[in-house]
Structure 1
Amino acid sequence: MRSCIYFFSSLLICLLMIIKPAKAQNNALLQAADSLFAGNDWKGAREKYAGYLADTLAAKNAVAWNKLGYCNYNLGFYQDAITDFNKTLANKPKPPVRNMAMSRMSRVYAAINKIDESAEWLTKATMAGYNSLPDLDSLADYKNMRESQKYAGIRKQLYEILYPCSREPHNHDFDFWVGDWDTYPTGSKFLTGRSHVEVMAGGCAILENFISVQAYTGKSFNYYDPAKGKWEQDWVGSGGAGDRTRYYNGEYRDGAMHFTSETTDAKGNKTLGNFIFYNIDKNTVRQYLELSTDGGKTYQVSYDLTYIRRK
């Protein structure tokens, strides 16, 4: 019995003596590969990563496969790169590595002019949280895709994945107001101010920046609430605490965006409002506000402005 224990103990010691140096040697290969990779020595790093990944345990290292794939990509060994990126994904990497491998797979297919495959992988990367638009718009690898008739559709699809508000048709109801404008009292040529209106937050809201010819300024934040099925606007002006109004029940109909409002002063008196943006044409918007202090029986015009697009 003692002889058996002694035999197995000796065998274990021998195995450990073999494994430890091998592991240390493999770790040294990985360190050397990473160093060469950091220096953009794709050929040298490729050789080291290949040696490292030949080990059975090391072959589970998704990061190393991803880096080997990037070396092969930069060296023009595209099929090898595709194999490496597939092995990266097969080892179930963490999201940053997974997304990177998918986007690099897309770049490989784009480089060899396989537009459909490239778009498929870029879509997967985008759905996984990768911001693909900067690459798509600028990288030389996507030159073939940008010149393809499919490009506009591909970019639109990716944009809508990244910015889901852009998919909601009602979020575009107020697009006619987006732009740079000069404002005039309707029917006159007296400039009262300028307004810059922009889409923000990936199409989830519209921001107005108004500057009068005097000292007055203000901003409005406009957005569509899908739960209510209505638009809302929050206005904050430079006129003090009372220069704040919320407009709600916004709806585009009959060629205009219609809002209503209700405010209460310090004495409890209510004021109702109808706030309307008329979409006259692509270069003209009329902004009209009327107020009622008798519960909606009668209304008085508060202001009536015409926006003329600056060219």
Structure 2
Amino acid sequence: MARRRKGRDISGWLVVDKPAGLTSTAVVNKVRWALDAKKAGHAGTLDPEATGVLAVALGEATKTVPYITDALKAYRFTVRFGQATNTDDAEGEVIATSDLRPSDEDIKEALHGFVGDIMQVPPQFSAVKIDGERAYKRARDGEEMDIAARPLWVEELVLTDRPDADTAELEMICGKGGYVRSIARDLGKLLGCHGHVLRLRRVWSGPFEASNGLTLEAIEQMARTPELDEHILPLELGLADLPELHCTAQGAARLRNGNPGMVIPGNVEYGDEAWASFEGRPLAVGRYKAGELHPSRVFNLTD
């Protein structure tokens, strides 16, 4: 028999302003400990040296993680020109150099090719799977892989500052699965000078902003206290991109049992994905069909 996980049944979101030097998993474990939470996960991995918003889902909020993962995200990052590294960031080994440095106008012109629907090859040191094994594990063994390009939606990519000839500050808004390191690498290639990410910060992810996040130091100071609980945000923030429908009492009872339940018609059409609430509490996510929500995920919230 599997051992039952200890901890509190708490649900919602805690937004962390992740520091450099820690993995996303390490941050989640710290939050779980600080809240004595039974279940926690994160919505979108950040590289260990990256900083910024890491939204930690607690309890039933983990069922909404895919909607945050799919949401738009914003990054601010520094590209270092003149050097390519095997990891496409400053942590890696320099594998190529160039004395060429692009002008501001060269950079702005090149950025147009990275906006809209693009195809992007993930870094060799990444978590994508190659024949069932993580690419970074193979890369650590010195293997060089052919990683297939993947589609990415880039809504915006702009040059915001040019501190010196070697570096450029950029901001990007993109969809799911984007690798900022690949943007820096490919920009350097296009400009003929090589490039890698020097610094990276995720400014916001869906409805969550780094400016509203807690530092790990603050979380540790408030650990296991009601004060930290006050920073937990509602589960339904993870559903911000979906329309809300309100249930009838009878519909709520059926949805709680995983059955289609009657909802009050709203701004949705047949087959649209939506979430349902009753008396201000989220009940389920599903598809709207003929006056009912057909649930795909049901939230079992405790009082």
Structure with higher Rg: it is 1
Q: Which has the higher helix share?
A: 1
Q: Same fold (TM over 0.5)?
A: no
Which structure exhibits the higher relative contact order, with contacts defined as CA atoms closer than 8 Å and separated by 6 or more residues? 2
TM-score (ref. length: structure 2): 0.18
Q: Which has the higher strand share?
A: 2
